[in-house]
Structures are given as C-alpha cells and as structure tokens.
Structure 1
Amino acid sequence: MPAGIFRVCFVVIAAIVNHPLLFPKENITVPENTEEVIQKMKEREENLRLERLKLEQEIAVQEMLAKSSEKATEAEEQYMHDPLSWNFWTALSLVVFLLIELWRQDYQEGMWQDYSNEEDENAILGKAFKGVVLPDKVTLANFYERCIQNVTSEIARNRELVEGFADDLLEALRSVCNRDADMEVEESIGVGSMYENWRVHKPLACDFIVPFTPPEPYCFQLETWHSGESVPLDKQGYGLIKICRADENSTGCICDKTKLGEDLLCLLHSKMNQSRHNNHMEDLLCYNDSRYLDGDQVMTWFQVALTKAWNKISHKYEFNLTFSLLESPGALKIKFRSGKTIAFNLTPVVQYADSDVYFISHFPCSDLAEGSTSSIHWFLTFAVYEKRYIQFVSKILPANSCHLSCLQILAFLHGKQCSLTGPSSLTNYHLKTVMLHLLQTHPSSNWAFGYLEARLQDMLKFLEKSLQEKRLYHFFIGNRNLPEELGIPVVFQKAEPMNLFRPFVLQRSFYRKTMDTFHEMLRNTSTLINEYTMHVPMGRATPLNKELL
C-alpha cells in the first residue's frame, strides 16, 4: 500500500517537473521544429495522466477490498463471540421498522385523500381560523337576542304541554300491555337540548328516554365493551343486553329440599312454570335464535304499544298524533286543527345497574349514530349526567354566563351552513362535548357574558384542532376529573377514553365533507351573523347591550 502511494506521488511530481510552462529550460536552445516537440510533450503528458489514473484506480480497489475483508472479519468475530447481541439488535431493528411502518400507515389514513400536494394541505390545516374575524361583542349580543333568545322563549310552553301528554300516553301504554308477557315501562326522563336550555333549531322537539324492564321471571344481564370478550373491540361505547331467567342464577328454592303436601304448591314455581309456556317475549324481542335483546324488535314492539295507547285516549284530545320518523321508536308529532305541530321523542332505554347511564338502541336525531352496527349492540348514553353536569356548573359560573350562549351561536351557525352546503358528520352533540371540555379547563370567572366573543373563539379553535387531529374524547368516559357529586360509575371513569371522531379515520369522504363544511362556516361566520342580525336603532340599547357598555 505505501509503495503504491509513493508511485502515484512520484508520477505526479514528475509530471509537474517536466511541464514546460512551469519549469522552462532556459539554457537549451529551442529547436526549429517547435510544433513537433510540443505535440510530443502533449502526448507524453497525456500518457502520464492516464497512468496516474490507472494507479489511483488500482489503489482504490485495493483499499476497498482491504476494508471489506476487515469488516467481514470483525463481524464474523463479533458474531462468534456474541451471537445474542447480534440477534438482539436485529430484532430491535425489525421492531423499529414495523413501528415506523405502522405510524406511516396511520399518518396516511389521517391525510386527506383528494389532496395531491402536501404543501397545499398543510397550508389549509391549522390556518383556517387565523383569517376569521368574528363580530364584536355588541354585534354578537344583538345577534343572540334577535335570532336565538326569541326562539328559546317558546321552549317552556312546548315543554309543559308535551310533558303532560307524554305521561298520559305512557300510562295508557301500561294499561294496554300484557303484564305477564310485555315489557314493563317506567316513568319518562326529559333529556337533551330542550332540558339543557340551549335548543335553537326548530322544531323544538322534547326528548324523553323511557326505561323498561322485562316481566318476571326474566331479567337483563348487561355486558359493556370492557366487561367481557363477547363485545368486539371496535364497538367501544356499545354493549349487549342478554335476557336471562331469574331462576338461572338462583341457588334453589326451599321447596326442592322440603317435602310439601299434595295439596300444597310453591307459589314461586307455579308462576314460573306457567311463564315457561309463554315464550312471547323471547320470540318477539330477541335477535334470531340468540338471547340478546334486539333493538329493531324493541322498536317494533314500542311503536305497536304506542299505537294501542293512543287509540285508547285519543277521544280526550282535540289533535292528531302520528309518527314523524319510522326509523326511530317513538318520534311523534302532535298536529292541531290550526295546522300547528309539536314534535317530541319517546325512546326506550335500559338502565345500567343502579346508575343514570342507559343503553339506547336508536337516537331520535341520529346525533351519535356514527357508522353502522348490528341491532343487538346498544350505545351507552350519558344524557342524564350531561344535563346534571350543566346544571351543576351553572351554579358555579357567574350570573348570566355565556357558556350556553356560545353553544347556541355555534349550533345556529353550523345548522345554517349545513342548510346551504348539505349535512355533515359534525353534530350538535360534538359541539356540546367541546363546550363541556372547555367548561372543565377554563376558570368559572372567564365565562361571564362579557367574554362571549373570547369563549366563542376558544370553542372554534378547539373544534378546529379536534377535527384536524380526528380526536374528540367523550366527556364522561375516561374522565377522572369529574365531581363526585355527579355519581358517575367508577368503571366508566377508569375506562380508556373514547374518541368520538374515530369514524373520521375510517370514512375519509365524510371527513373531507365535514372539514369543507366547517371551513366554509368559518369563512361565512361574519356574513351569517350580519345577515340574521336586526340592527338596533341608535340611542336604543337592549338589556344585553347595556351589560356590555
């Protein structure tokens, strides 16, 4: 190796020394045929250059062979001395590669499918809200009073009328049902925006959930997604309701161990033996040959029962009652002779243990019906706790706080935008979840009505960030910072958080449509507010304006 380097250096030095332009030989007489001499010197120079390149290539090849042989020897020695270390690093490399590949696939799922230019997509995401200028406080207050507050004033009147009629209808339903074979219906519970005082869209429909239980000797055995292997992992937030007989889990009756007289009968077993011959309930409400409660069967039973109940009491009222949506168990509409209509929903549910969590098969407005699922999977609704938490927080917040006002304005704007560009997968339940998260993170003093503009901006920013990340967690499932006064079951607080935006990861077309609608709403916010706001004359101030001035 040193000899080769020496040869290269010698050739280079010789070429330099013999170059006629660098070291001309002054004492030598230049021959007459100068051009011929110059040509020979050029040929010699070219030959020296070629020889130098050839030597450099030979040295490079020798160096590469030497290095490769040394590395092979070292690797072989290391493998012979420590094969476990080599296996460990190989396995680690494979794991890292797999993690990177999984991350890449997940990242690609989160990208918009229709955008081919990544820079264009990055320019859109995260910058939509920066260019939005919301109206000032006085304009927002005028808009809220003119467009929203007048609408919500009708809620109390409708709610009082519907509550009385719903109680009468359910009482008639109990009287027409067979108590030995049909489900037993309990008192209704008012939930939703009408009972949380933020409903803005017409029709102003009241939502009621109606718990029901099976007749004796049957009972419900409830299975949530984290309580057993029977519920698939992709059904997070869902559960199964199994119909069992009460005697299946009993240790036995005393009549089995005691000899009764011929003229004595066990009242328990005599009743159960009679019910064994009546399989009407199982055949009607179970899914095929299984023992799981079928939501579609329950819907059919409930609609038939409501029809019978209305036929019994219809003579007492001067209006008609019809089903407004056949896909929902109890979406009803009262129609007066004057043409006025009032809508309300009665939805059968199953209570979870002794809590206020309920299994629900159908949602009246499809707010949570994300994606298709089988009829035996029932969604868990925390509607009662949502109403209770809003009432709990309202006692802590300043008087005339703006939390519900922000939600109403946002729901109004989104509803108007959907009427212009078509429906999106973003629902009012998502908007309410955003408000609940911000109520937990912002101090109560920041929700005074004077902060209406700032809190509305916070909700829009939070919603935009959640949509970009495709992640909006359920407020009650996995939230361990809830007040103990609410009485949330610990099993749900300790559960893994549930992402309400998970369908956006799997359904890219819905996600793209939702993002387009949201960005269009942001761009049209000022226009929509100014269009629907009735200008207040100069020198005249409303109560809300007086508070802001």
Structure 2
Amino acid sequence: MPAGVFKVCFVVIAAIVNHPLLFPKENVTVPENTEDIIQKMKEREESLRLERLKLEQEMAVQETLTKSSEKATEPEEQYPHDPLSWNFWTALSLVVFLLIELWRQDYQEGTWQDYSIEEDENAVLGKAFKGVFLPDRGTLDSFYERCILNVTSEIARNRELVEGFADDLLEALRSVCNRDADMEVEESIGIGSMYENWRVHKPLACDFIVPFTPPEPYCFKLETCDSRESVPPDKQGYGVIKICWADENSTGCICDKTKLGEDLLCLLHSKMNQSRHNNHMEDLLCYKDSRYLDSDQVMMWFQVALTKAWNKISHKYEFSLTFSHLDSPGALKIKFRSGKTIAFNLTPVVQYADSDVYFVSHFPCGGLAEGSTSSIHWFLTFAVYEKRYLQFVSKILPDSSCHLSCLQILSFIHGKQCSLTGPSSLTNYHLKTAMLHLLQTYPSSNWASGFLEARLQDVLRYLEKSLQEKRLYHFFIGNRNLPEELGIPVEFQKAEPVNLFRPFVLQRSAYRKTMDMFHEMLRNTSALINEYTTHVHVGRASPLNKEQL
C-alpha cells in the first residue's frame, strides 16, 4: 500500500513539475506553434491518465494479495477495512489533474493573469481618498482671476473669427465637390468646452461637427450596437452605418402596389436597377467588400476636400492654413504672418434619425478617449445635448453658480499635471461627466458660489471612487432621469449604461499609470494653485462672482 501511494504521488508531482504554466523556464517566450504544444500537452495528459489507471490496478491487485496473505497467516485476527486513505489519495490526484486542466484552458484562451499586477493594483487602490488640501478663499480667487479669466477673455474674439472662416471654407468645399457622386456637407455645429464656456487651456481651439449625407439615390441606415441582441462589451456606445438605396425598401411607385404581370415592365425602375449595377459601393467610402461606411476613408475624403476648398479661397486671406494632426479629419491651424496661430477642428459626423445624436468618426485631440475598434464602428456623441443640458441647469442654479468654475479649475490642474507626468487616460471628458452626475445628484442650492471648495472636493472624491471601481457611466446613455425638455431619444434612455472606464479592466498598465497620476495630482493641487497665484489683499472682491462668459 505505501509503495502504491508513493507511485501515485510521484506521478502527480511529475505532472505538476513538468507543467509549463506552473514552473516556466526562465527567459523563455511563448513559441508561435501553440497548436503543436497544446497537442503534446493533451498526449502527455492521456499518457498520465493511462499510467494512473495502471497504478490503480496494480494497487488493487497488491491489496488483494496482502489481504489473502494476512488471512492465511493470522486467521484469528480480523482487521476492519478503512477506505478513507485510498479515497483521499484518489480524490487528491483527481483534484490536481482537474486544476491542471483548468489552468491549461485558461492559458489556451489567453486569460492567464499576472498576479503580481493584481498586487500592484491592490497597492494602488489602498490609497484611499483623504481629501485634497485647497488654499484659502482669497488665494483661490486670485488663482481663478489670473489663470482662468485672463484666458477666457480671448474666447469670444477667437470664436467669432473661426466661425466666419469655417463657414466660408465649408461653402467652398460644397462648390468643389461633385454633387452627383460626393457626400453632401451641411452646416457646422459648435460643440465642446469653447461653446460650454469652461475651456481654459491654450490653444483655444473651437470644435465643430459637420453632418454629411450621401448623394442621391442613396441613404444612410444607422444601427447602434446597443440595439443588437448580443453586444460585445467593447462595442457599447458604438454603431455602424450602412449605405442603402433610398428606394431599397419601398420605391413609392405604383408597381409596388399593383402586380403588373409577366408581359409588363416598369420603365422607371428598370433604368434605376441598371444604373445600380454601374455604381460601386467603394466609391461611396465603404469598407472593402461591404456596404458599411468606413471612417478611415471618410477621413481621407474630408481632408482632400478641405485642401481643394482652401486652394479655391486662399487668395482672399492673409494667413496660411495647415493640418495640425493628420490622424484627425479636420484638425486645422491658422497661422498669421505675425506668428500667431489659431487652431480649430472640423469633424465629419452622421446624424442619428431626427435627433441631435451623431455618429462621429474621429474625436479631436484632447477629447473623449477612443478605444481600439474597427473602422466601420462609429462612436455616438451627445455633445449637442451636453451643451444643451449645461444651458438648462444654468437657468435653475443660483446666480454666479460655481459649477463651471469648478470644472475650469479641475481642468486647469489636470492639464498642468499631465504636462508634468505625461498624457493620461483620464481626460477632460471624464471630468465633465463626473460633474454632470453631481449636478443631477445635488440640489441647485448646493452650487452657489460659496460652495466652490466643497464641490471641488466632491468631484475629486467621485472620480476617486469611480477609478477604484473602474466604473464611470455615460451621462446620457441609460440615464432615465433626464429632463424631457432636452429631447433625448427614448431608446438611449432605456439602453444599458455604458461604462467609460471599462478599458481600465483590460489595460492594467494604463490603469496603474492613471491612478498614480491622479493621486499625484491630488498631492500637487495646492502647490499648483499657489504657483500661479499672486498676492491678494484681504477683503478684495471675489472674481468668482463675476458673470461667466
């Protein structure tokens, strides 16, 4: 019996020691021929299983012989049979083999976890929010006046100049495009912090979205990923745009309602069907071998069209126009002869139904962080509703409320911290989303100008909790408590909430870097404010009570 138990233990230990996942060799990388390795692992498991069965048979025979010899030599004594020992070793071996098989499957599916990373995350999460030390009210007022009001005073002038030029540029774009083959561009819409009155970072770039439609007889058929039966977690908040013929479902002709017979032919639709064969979907910016709109092709088309439009009107202006980022459709920069520059973004979008929700191909630099996805998936943007909601709550909040001042200060500190530690996955859009949630949570009286420090603490505490839980929900998707005056489509209010922090679940290195940056920002807040603050006399009027631009 001990020899048999020793053999079973030896087989189990050999399987554990030779398993590549439990004791990997040093400086060895995973080879490319993983299928051969998996096949060899299966063969080894089968041989181990046969060896275990053989050992069990030998142990059973040995046990029988032992009992027979004991009965022959000592017939008077009866030893009770205790199966607990055999059952224990059998169960232990089965459990070990089961664990090895589960670990092998996890490795095969690519879900092997690095527990050292989890320990690092636990260490990061252990830094609970203790509150951030903010300077006294006088210092905070002086900081706001010097670093924010002086910057925002330039917004109105730059915005007026850029709006006029953008309209002229888009009008020239329409004139150089072929109306029978190219996309049709509509009027631009101003969005973002410049139009929500809280931008503090230079350059003071205006963001515009430019809706476009396909030429006749085509139309866009929009489908959100949330409307499908099974939505991958990384595709929540995205959608696809299919290009169809306008009469694909219904031609509107009498031939749809009347059977013409075999000898009769509708001349109108026979010509239309013939023309369809002469058109190719690739010419309409579709992804290869499909009818889905390709965001990369839209970007290239838009950049070429803008270049042609500028060449047509460049003689009218005394400045130059260039692309500041080639990976964005319309990230443009105006450069005057004096050296001064003004940046603005024109982003092509597709309108969702008759709402103010749009499918956006690419986000301007510094906007919402994009996740990696295919070029046929377009993200839903509620930028117009965000601007409208801030205008709505401004009518309800007290005069000189602190909600925009709070967002401006946080955005300023966040930008300075990123300039020290490098770009972060935590963006201004996340800051604004956190503040929108608190605007809906706290009563309007809590946003008076005297509560600025308390609201700053609340937003930072909300962000800390959201980062620890890796969960920050989109403000409009899945939010059923929005006012009806906004006109949010019902299907989005009833949809499942979209977690903006979900990428942190998979991208652990980015998560640790973001948490380190956030905690360092908390520690540096007071120093950053004092660094940009001048001396303030006691009793000076608070600039926070001034009317926002």
Give me the TM-score of the superposition, normalised by structure 1: 0.75
Separation of aligned partners in 2, 1:67 and 1:284: 76
Separation of aligned partners in 2, 1:193 and 1:271: 47
1:438 maps onto 2:438 in alignment: yes
Separation of aligned partners in 1, 2:367 and 2:540: 40
Partner AA of 1:177 in structure 2: C
SS class of match (2:350): strand
Partner AA of 2:278 in structure 1: H
Task: State the Cα distance separating 1:232 from its structure 2 match.
Answer: 4.1
Partner AA of 2:154 in structure 1: E
1:113 maps onto 2:117 in alignment: yes
Partner AA of 1:478 in structure 2: G
The aligned runs of 1:142-291 (5 Å cut-off) are 142-228=142-228, 232-251=232-251, 253-254=253-254, 273-274=274-275, 276-279=277-280, 282-291=282-291
Separation of aligned partners in 1, 2:277 and 2:121: 67
Separation of aligned partners in 1, 2:121 and 2:347: 47
Q: Which residue of 1 aligns with 2:328?
A: 328
Gap change, CA 1:539 and 1:497, over 3 Å in 2: closer
The aligned runs of 1:129-528 (5 Å cut-off) are 129-130=130-131, 132-228=132-228, 232-251=232-251, 253-254=253-254, 273-274=274-275, 276-279=277-280, 282-365=282-365, 367-528=367-528
Identity of aligned residues (%): 80
Partner AA of 2:209 in structure 1: I
Task: State the Cα distance separating 1:255 from its structure 2 match.
Answer: 6.1
SS class of match (1:248): coil
Gap change, CA 1:276 and 1:523, over 3 Å in 2: same
**1:137 and 1:450 in contact (8 A); partners too:** no
Partner AA of 1:469 in structure 2: E
SS class of match (2:219): strand
Task: State the Cα distance separating 1:140 from its structure 2 match.
Answer: 1.4
Gap change, CA 1:116 and 1:253, over 3 Å in 2: closer
Partner AA of 2:433 in structure 1: T
Partner AA of 2:221 in structure 1: Q
Unaligned runs of 5+ residues in structure 1 are 1-61, 69-97, 103-107
Task: State the Cα distance separating 1:248 from its structure 2 match.
Answer: 1.5
Separation of aligned partners in 2, 1:389 and 1:409: 20
The aligned runs of 1:528-547 (5 Å cut-off) are 528-537=528-537, 540-541=540-541, 543-544=543-544
Task: State the Cα distance separating 1:137 from its structure 2 match.
Answer: 2.0
Separation of aligned partners in 1, 2:459 and 2:335: 38
Task: State the Cα distance separating 1:226 from its structure 2 match.
Answer: 2.0
Number of residue-to-residue matches in the alignment: 445
The aligned runs of 1:56-71 (5 Å cut-off) are none
Separation of aligned partners in 2, 1:255 and 1:500: 49
SS class of match (1:450): helix
Partner AA of 1:160 in structure 2: E
SS class of match (1:166): helix
**2:182 and 2:284 in contact (8 A); partners too:** no
Gap change, CA 1:480 and 1:111, over 3 Å in 2: farther
Separation of aligned partners in 1, 2:334 and 2:469: 43
Gap change, CA 1:528 and 1:221, over 3 Å in 2: same
SS class of match (2:389): helix
Task: State the Cα distance separating 1:246 from its structure 2 match.
Answer: 1.5
Gap change, CA 1:200 and 1:271, over 3 Å in 2: same
The structure number with the bigger radius of gyration is 1
For residues 431-451 of structure 1, give each alpha carbon's deviation from its aligned partner in whole angstroms, at most 9, with x where no partner exists.
000010000001101111111
For residues 431-482 of structure 1, give each alpha carbon's deviation from its aligned partner in whole angstroms, at most 9, with x where no partner exists.
0000100000011011111111010000111111111111100000000000
Task: State the Cα distance separating 1:117 from its structure 2 match.
Answer: 9.8
Question: What root-mean-square deviation, in Å, do the aligned CA atoms of Structure 1 and Structure 2 show?
Answer: 3.2
**2:351 and 2:357 in contact (8 A); partners too:** yes
**2:285 and 2:293 in contact (8 A); partners too:** yes
SS class of match (1:349): strand
Separation of aligned partners in 2, 1:193 and 1:368: 12
Gap change, CA 1:168 and 1:109, over 3 Å in 2: farther
SS class of match (1:328): coil
For residues 37-82 of structure 1, give each alpha carbon's deviation from its aligned partner in whole angstroms, at most 9, with x where no partner exists.
xxxxxxxxxxxxxxxxxxxxxxxxx9x99999xxxxxxxxxxxxxx
Task: State the Cα distance separating 1:251 from its structure 2 match.
Answer: 4.9
Unaligned runs of 5+ residues in structure 2 are 1-77, 85-101, 107-111
